């Protein structure tokens, strides 16, 4: 089946700039989204951290490139992951995205964050971030959107987070999210949660104080 999101006979996403070179569009995408991320750091996108808020955040980040920015994907997807030996995380079926995102965000927003001990807090934050990421609701841009969304949520809860740690270790963060979600119907639970939990603990630790 031809992926409706890509140019025919390519793996390049259709974009508003009509760029068909995959390496060039990745560079342009990184440049545009970096600019939008800086804007959001200074002026966060307000909302109540529901499904609509998540969509609006994705639209803001990718508005310059994709007509479908802010829309949930309409197909099922797989992505080969080097850290999984070429396997893909088992992302949500596109027909269940709305239901799963709604449930995930309700759970995140209803937690009593300020009543948790540091270790418990890190575990729950990792679980919610990784659960939302595993749904992979958008055709592209899920990692940047989910991390930004969760960091902004933490800041809205008056929780001190050094989001620059995630930004400076973006490759590690994606690999950590993949490892966290390495659970398969046929192969079983191969997940390794410690990578994500460690960097989240670092992000919520004061630079002056040891964890």
> How far is 138 from 57, CA to CA, in rounded Å?
12
Query: pLDDT per residue over 144-186, tens digit each?
Result: 999 999 999 999 998 889 999 999 999 999 999 999 999 999 9
Tell me if 33 is assigned to some domain: no
Helix (H) or strand (E) holding 184: strand 183-184
Asked if residue 208 has pLDDT above 60, the reply is: no
Cβ(16)–Cβ(65) under 8 Å?
Answer: yes
What are the structure tokens assigned to 1, written together? Answer: 């089946």
How much is the mean pLDDT over the chain? Answer: 94
Pairing between β-strand 188-189 and β-strand 183-184 as defined by DSSP bridges: antiparallel
pTM for the whole structure:
0.94
Q: For residue 106, is it within any domain?
A: yes
What whole-number percentage of the chain has pLDDT above 90? 88
Domain extent, residue 191, equals 47-203
Would you state the pLDDT for residue 63?
A: 97
Please, which pLDDT band fits residue 205 given cuts at 50, 70 and 90?
Answer: confident
CATH of the domain at 84: 1.10.3290.10
Number of domains in the chain: 1
Q: Does the structure show a pLDDT above 80 at 190?
A: yes
The band of 1, judged by pLDDT with boundaries at 50, 70 and 90, is low
3 part of a folded domain:
no
Which of the four pLDDT bands, split at 50, 70 and 90, describes residue 109?
Answer: very high
pLDDT of 64 above 50: yes
pLDDT at 37 over 70: yes
What average pLDDT does this structure show over 44-55?
A: 96
Tell me if 92 is assigned to some domain: yes
* Residue 61 lies inside a defined structural domain of this protein: yes
In a domain, 24, yes or no: no
Q: Is residue 56 part of a domain?
A: yes
pLDDT at res. 207? 56
The backbone torsions φ and ψ at residue 189, rounded to the nearest 5 degrees and listed phi first, read: -90, 105
Q: Is the pLDDT of residue 58 over 90?
A: yes
Whether residue 4 is contained in a domain is answered as: no
pLDDT band, residue 209 (cuts 50/70/90):
very low
């Amino acid at each position: 089946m031809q992926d409706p999101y890509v140019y025919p006979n390519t793996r390049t996403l259709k974009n508003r700039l009509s760029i068909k070179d995959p390496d060039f569009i990745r560079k342009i995408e990184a440049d545009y989204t970096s600019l939008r991320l800086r804007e959001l750091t200074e002026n966060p996108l307000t909302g109540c951290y529901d499904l609509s808020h998540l969509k609006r955040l994705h639209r803001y980040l990718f508005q310059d490139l994709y007509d479908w920015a802010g829309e949930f994907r309409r197909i099922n997807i797989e992505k080969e992951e080097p850290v999984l030996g070429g396997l893909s995380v088992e992302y949500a079926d596109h027909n269940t995205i709305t239901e799963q995102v709604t449930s995930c965000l309700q759970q995140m927003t209803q937690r009593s964050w300020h009543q948790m001990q540091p270790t418990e807090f890190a575990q729950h934050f990792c679980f919610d971030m990784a659960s939302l990421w595993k749904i992979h609701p958008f055709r592209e841009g899920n990692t940047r959107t989910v991390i930004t969304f969760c960091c902004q949520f933490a800041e809205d809860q008056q929780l001190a987070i050094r989001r620059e740690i995630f930004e400076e270790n973006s490759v590690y963060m994606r690999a950590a999210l993949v490892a966290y979600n390495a659970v398969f119907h046929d192969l079983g639970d191969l997940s390794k949660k410690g990578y994500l939990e460690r960097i989240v603990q670092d992000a919520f630790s004061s630079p002056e104080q040891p964890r």
